[in-house]
Amino acid sequence: MLDKIFRNTQTEKPFLKIFSENPNIPPPIWFMRQAGRYLPEYRELRLKTSNFLEFCYSPDKASEATLQPLKRFEFDAAIIFSDILVIPDALGVGVSFKKGEGPVLNKIQNIDDIEKLKFDIDHLKPVYEAIKITSKKINKNKALIGFAGAPWTLATYMIEGGSSRDFINTKKWAYSSEESFSRLINILVESVSSHLIEQVKNGAEVLQIFDSWAGALTSDQFEKWVIEPTAKIISNVKLACPDTPVIGFPKGAGTLYKKYAEQTGVDAISFDQNIDPVWIKDNINIPVQGNLDPLLLAYNKDKAVEKTRELLTLFEGRPFIFNLGHGIIPQTPLDNVSAIVNTVKEYG
């Protein structure tokens, strides 16, 4: 029988209080990709490994990168430094990162390729070791977030062989051979579930599921390839880790965010910058996260501060996590980040 992982719900961590539906003033704050290239200390650390995956699989370095933004800014949570594509890598799909091009994967092209996939959780031991190290080093009032990519998004990378604008190969497969595509999605559901549970076993206190390309689907396909697989993952995670909150992020989902929030079982939902925050307030009944534009943060500090105050006022009195609508970009000035963190911390 699967052992259940229970957390002590009596916590002084502001980030975790949100999931018991206790609105904080000020709300907790963290940024997606807060450990990354905008930090000079990260760039220096990154030079110590020859490639990105090697860095992700170096527990001490990954832990150090995870904690760097907390040493510089008053974020309330750290997200473990890793990548969503470690799962395809652990499935035996060749994954590499090319400078100026991004991720490159050996393409999955047919059912025979799918049947060759086998999730090797031991391949990801360095990720879990990084979490274990970080959980011992992180400040007692800060939370540690684990994460994974969602099945649909991972499938697009595996079939397209990397990033894509139109996902034509993935959509063609999903439409023309639903049975075999479902086989791939089911393999990813089980792999993602195992990966998330293992992260909790090693010290992750909150989980986030990134469905970065959810917005590429029609409403009926969104329900089949985003909502249904995510609901299965949440069910698997909650069976093993009933007290671990899960944040969902179906980027680009538009009004389908509402259905996602209602039908997947996530404890909170993160919004991209293209959703009207008033719509969020009026339509979403679970804790929310986001949705400051990362480009606004990078290129107009004063307006970013103004927008931050608007969001704080709008979501006052309900469970809210201050975050960006997507990851912080490398060009973001450190002073801009400090300005937003200070604005949030001084609110109320």
HSE of 188, CA atoms in CB hemisphere, 13 A? 34
Cα dihedral 181, 187, 192, 193 in deg (nearest 10): 120
pTM of the model: 0.95
Q: Which of 21, 17, 10, 28 is closest to 319 using CA atoms?
A: 21
Helix (H, G, I), strand (E, B) or coil at 279: helix
Q: What is the pLDDT of residue 8?
A: 52
> Do 323 and 290 form a contact (C-beta atoms < 8 A)?
yes
Q: What is the pLDDT of residue 20?
A: 84
* Total Cβ atoms within 10 A of residue 36: 20
Q: Give the bridge partners for 95, in sequence order.
A: 105
Calpha distance 86→260 (Å, rounded): 25
Q: What is the pLDDT of residue 2?
A: 59
Q: What is the pLDDT of residue 24?
A: 78
Calpha distance 324→289 (Å, rounded): 8
Identity of residue 322: F
| The architecture CATH gives domain 14-346 | Alpha-Beta Barrel (3.20)
Q: What is the pLDDT of residue 10?
A: 47
What are the backbone angles phi and psi of residue 203, rounded to the nearest 5°?
125, -5
Q: Which of 201, 76, 96 is closest to 138 using CA atoms?
A: 76
What is the pLDDT tens value at each position of the chain, 348 positions in all? 356 775 554 457 989 999 986 777 899 999 999 999 999 999 999 999 989 999 999 999 999 999 999 999 999 999 999 999 999 999 999 998 887 778 999 999 999 999 999 999 999 999 999 999 999 999 999 999 999 999 999 999 999 999 888 999 999 999 999 999 999 999 999 999 999 999 999 999 999 999 999 999 999 999 999 999 999 999 999 999 999 999 999 999 999 999 999 999 999 999 999 999 999 999 999 999 999 999 999 999 999 999 999 999 999 999 999 999 999 999 999 999 999 999 999 998
Q: What angle do CA 80, 149, 71 make, to 5 degrees?
A: 20
Enzyme catalytic residues: 33, 37, 46, 83, 157
Report CA torsion sign: 305, 309, 312, 315.
negative
> Do 145 and 79 form a contact (C-beta atoms < 8 A)?
yes
Report CA torsion sign: 183, 185, 191, 194.
negative
